[in-house]
Structure 1
Amino acid sequence: MIYSKYFSRYIRSRKKISFQQKRCTGCGQLIHPAENAVHFPCPNCGDVVIWRCEKCRRFAHPYTCIKCNFDGP
């Protein structure tokens, strides 16, 4: 089966999207896909997605919303 150059470009772009790593909002550490992390909308504004790594959740490190400056536990 012969694929066009556009199809291979599409596959490469999808791989980049699917493997983009997120950063913890509290500590800035990269979140591994297998890590037990959570994400949720900001409780105050609801526009920004907050990512929390397992360590920050366990020790209740504070985080700050980048849009409304809401400080959470």
Structure 2
Amino acid sequence: MSIRGARIYGPSPPADSTTNWPLAPLERGVVFACPNCGKTTIVRSARARKLGVPYRCPECGFVGP
């Protein structure tokens, strides 16, 4: 299946938890548990870390750098 020449393979790529930016195929994202509650898995893209976009845990509301 293709849309405008792009091929679609399975599910969408993982996305940054805060910005919802998809991780590029070769981008090394960081996956970690919330440092406050540990209940939520947070995915951070290299771009969000470089730009200093803060993340927020949806479970406890913790805001990180």
Alignment TM class, shorter chain as reference = 0.7 to 0.9
Corresponding residue of 1:44:
36
Gaps of 5+ in 1: 1-14
Gaps of 5+ in 2: 1-8
Amino acid at match of 2:53: H
TM-score of the superposed pair, with normalisation by structure 1: 0.66
Corresponding residue of 1:69:
61
Corresponding residue of 1:26:
18
CA distance in structure 2 between the aligned counterparts of 1:45 and 1:21, rounded to whole angstroms: 26
Amino acid at match of 1:45: C
CA RMSD in angstroms, aligned pairs only: 1.7
| Percent identity over paired residues | 33
TM-score of the superposed pair, with normalisation by structure 2: 0.73
CA distance in structure 2 between the aligned counterparts of 1:67 and 1:22, rounded to whole angstroms: 19
1:1-38, CA deviations, whole angstroms, 9 ceiling, x for partnerless residues?
xxxxxxxxxxxxxx95xx65211022111113411211
Q: Secondary structure at the residue paired with 2:31?
A: strand
Runs of 4+ in structure 1 over 2 Å off: none
| Structure 1 or 2: more helix by fraction | 1
